Amino acid sequence: MSEAARAAEALVGAWTLRSDSREILATGEKAPLLGAHPTGTLVYTGDGRVTAIVLADGRKAPEGLTASDPEAVALFRTMVAYAGRYTVEAERILHHVEQSWNAKWTGTDLVRFYKLEGSRLTLTTAPAPNPRDGALSVSTLVWERLP
C-alpha cells in the first residue's frame, strides 16, 4: 500500500478544530485566522468526499428571527464552509470544491499539505490570497479526531 493510500485510509472520519493560525507572507505577521477559539468540523468519507465548516469565535446570533443585512454580512465573514471530493497524494490533499460558502472557491482545487500524528491532523494551505483581505497567506489548522 502506498503512503498516499495509507494516509487516505487514516483520514477517514470526523475531526474537530483545535487551533488555527495565519502567516501573511509579505510581512511575516502571524495571528489566529478566525480568533482565539474557532470551532469547526472536518469530515472525510471512505468514498472520497470531504465536508468542512470553520466558524470564528465570538460570532453573534441575529437579534431577530432573521438576520439583518449587516448581521448576515458579519456571519458570512466569520465562517468558511465547503464540500466536494478529495484525493490524497504523498504530501498533500486536494479538496475538489463542489459547493462553497464563497462561490469563488466552487469548482476549484484547494491544496492542503498534511501531517498526521496520532489523533492530530495538521493541514497547511498552499500560499494563496486570503478570501477576506486578499493578502497572500499560508494558514495552518490543527484538527483532532473525534471518537
- Per residue of the chain (147 residues), give pLDDT as tens: 788 788 889 999 999 999 999 999 999 999 888 888 999 999 999 999 999 999 999 999 999 999 999 999 999 999 999 999 999 998 999 999 999 999 999 999 999 999 999 999 999 999 988 877 888 999 999 999 999
State the Cα–Cα distance between residues 142 and 144, nearest whole angstrom.
7
DSSP code at position 28: -
Q: Is 70 helix (H, G, I), strand (E, B) or coil?
A: helix
Where in the chain are the domains?
3-145
Task: Indicate the pTM of the whole model.
Answer: 0.91
Cα–Cα dist 71/129, whole Å: 25
- Look-up: residue for cell 469565535? 57
Task: Give me the CATH code for the 3-145 domain, please.
Answer: 2.40.128.280
Distance CA 105, CA 140 (A): 18
CA atoms of 109 and 139, how far apart (whole Å): 16
Considering only the C-alpha atoms of the chain, give the largest distance between any 2 of them, rounded to a whole number of Å: 54
Q: Using CA atoms, how far apart are residues 48 and 59, in angstroms rounded to an integer?
A: 31
How many CB atoms are located within 10 Å of the residue 13 CB?
Answer: 15
